[in-house]
Amino acid sequence: MYTNSDGLLNKMQELKVLINSTDRPDVIAITECKPKNLAYPVLASEFNLEGYTVYCQGLESKNKRGLLLYVNSNIVASVVDTPDTFQESIFVMIKDSKQKNILLIGNIYRNPKSSPENDNMLYELFKYIQNQFKVPKLIVGDFNFSNITWQYDHGDDVNAVCSGLSDNELKFVNAVRENLFLQHIDRPTRQRGTDKPHTLDLVLSYEIFI
């Protein structure tokens, strides 16, 4: 957690080191780019990264944690308008050299205290994305459904274990299935201290291209 400009600078330096220590990814998605206790307003320019175009959502709102999507500067991309009833999401369309749409990428943060009404807007967002865009889709993010366990079922399919889930958790699983999204994370992504590990961060795709 950082609460001042020095802290933000340190986080950006860590990101640069991480990127330069591996093959540079074409797309980087970050959730909760704003900490809960922030002493000053955050500007989009503070997240600039050489070699990337940064797309931001929620930086101006005190009630949002903020989302970032970094796209390689050599790639043609543009932000896609989607219903803003769900908090928080950002979608970017990747295009080829002829300006043809080839891939829709989304980044989502669902607050663990999300209301049932907000969750319903998430499920409607899935439906909207699936119906409106006839290209391969990739949605990543922190969905904060801590009770859902994902594991390999048949072959390469990763499915949710539905026993013991709440009605809302089942609604999320059904929304993923009904919109024909594949979920690719099969192991815990978050653990604090001695707490039970949870699979909170998911990767959803429409069509098998991962």
- Looking at residue 202, which CATH number applies to its domain? 3.60.10.10
163 plus 91 within the same structural domain:
yes
- What is the mean pLDDT of the segment spanning 151-170? 86
- What is the mean pLDDT of the segment spanning 52-65? 89
Average pLDDT, the chain: 89
109 plus 34 within the same structural domain:
no
11 plus 86 within the same structural domain:
no
61 plus 83 within the same structural domain:
no
In whole angstroms, what is the distance from residue 116 CA to residue 32 CA?
A: 21
Whether residue 10 has pLDDT greater than 80: no
Q: By residue range, what is the domain housing residue 204?
A: 75-210
64 plus 109 within the same structural domain:
no
Whether residue 207 has pLDDT greater than 90: no
Sheet order of strands, 52-57 included = 27-31, 67-72, 52-57
Number of H helices, E strands in the chain: 3, 11
pTM: 0.89
29 plus 111 within the same structural domain:
no
Whether residue 1 has pLDDT greater than 50: no
Structurally, the chain folds into a number of domains equal to: 2
- What is the mean pLDDT of the segment spanning 69-94? 95
